[in-house]
């Protein structure tokens, strides 16, 4: 599975992710959240340590009402 599919998964599951990880960056690999934090650098470092040279997707989930998606 490529990181493009993980970006799609983030988009398709955004409302659920938004509830669980408000105002946080999330890293996703194979449709699983592998790291989350309010700081991008920490999420990236945790995800990179987890997957090594593999690919992963990073997204940001806003808190509040989901608009226009």
Segment 34-55, tens digit of pLDDT: 999 999 999 999 999 999 888 9
Alpha-carbon distance of 67 to 28, in angstroms, equals 22
The tokens of 5 are what? 């599919």
pLDDT of residue 52: 87
Q: Facing residues of 29 across strands?
A: 32
Question: Does the pLDDT of residue 60 top 90, yes or no?
Answer: yes
Average pLDDT, the chain: 91
Report, as an integer, the average pLDDT of 11-40: 96
> Looking at the whole model, is its pTM more than 0.75?
yes
Checking if the pLDDT of 2 tops 90, the result is: no
């Amino acid at each position: 599975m490529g990181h493009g599919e993980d970006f799609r998964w983030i988009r398709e599951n955004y409302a659920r992710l938004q509830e669980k990880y408000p105002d946080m960056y999330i890293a996703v690999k194979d449709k699983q959240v592998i790291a989350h934090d309010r700081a991008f650098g920490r999420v990236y470092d945790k995800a990179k340590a987890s997957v090594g040279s593999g690919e992963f997707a990073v997204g940001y989930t806003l808190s509040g009402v989901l608009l226009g998606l």
